[in-house]
Structure 1
Amino acid sequence: TERTGEGAYTIRYFSPKAEVPFCGHATVATALALAERDGPGELLFATAAGPVPVTVVRDGGELRATLTSV
């Protein structure tokens, strides 16, 4: 994951055999890890499958991430 701007990152995904264009679970995990470090908010991931916006909110002490899968 490489930061390209405020809340914007380029992200790449790899299986054991090759790079893949998108992985929803890895995107959610990355968004939550970044939110734990930087706080909740809007993130935008540039993936090989296209841009993926993710919203992270704090809900009752927990972080929750939502995205629309590509």
Structure 2
Amino acid sequence: MTPSQEKKIKRVLLLLLISPFVSGFLTAMIVFTQPDIMMSMGLAGMIGLWMISSIASYKAIKGYIFG
């Protein structure tokens, strides 16, 4: 393995570690600032929101890391 490949693998692992925390934080911010939205969405809506935010944060961090 070349050093550049190792660097990429480390970046991907870092990305996979960070993105759930970022999405969880974003979801928590929405829940605490808009509790009425959370009540109307229910659990399925919260899971959907978390999945969307985790995908979005994954893509954003990936774009930031890989340029």
Q: TM-score, normalised by structure 2?
A: 0.32
Q: Which has the higher strand share?
A: 1
* Larger relative contact order (CA 8 Å, sep ≥ 6): 2
**Over alpha carbons, which structure has the higher Rg?**
2
Q: Which has the higher helix share?
A: 2
Q: TM-score, normalised by structure 1?
A: 0.31
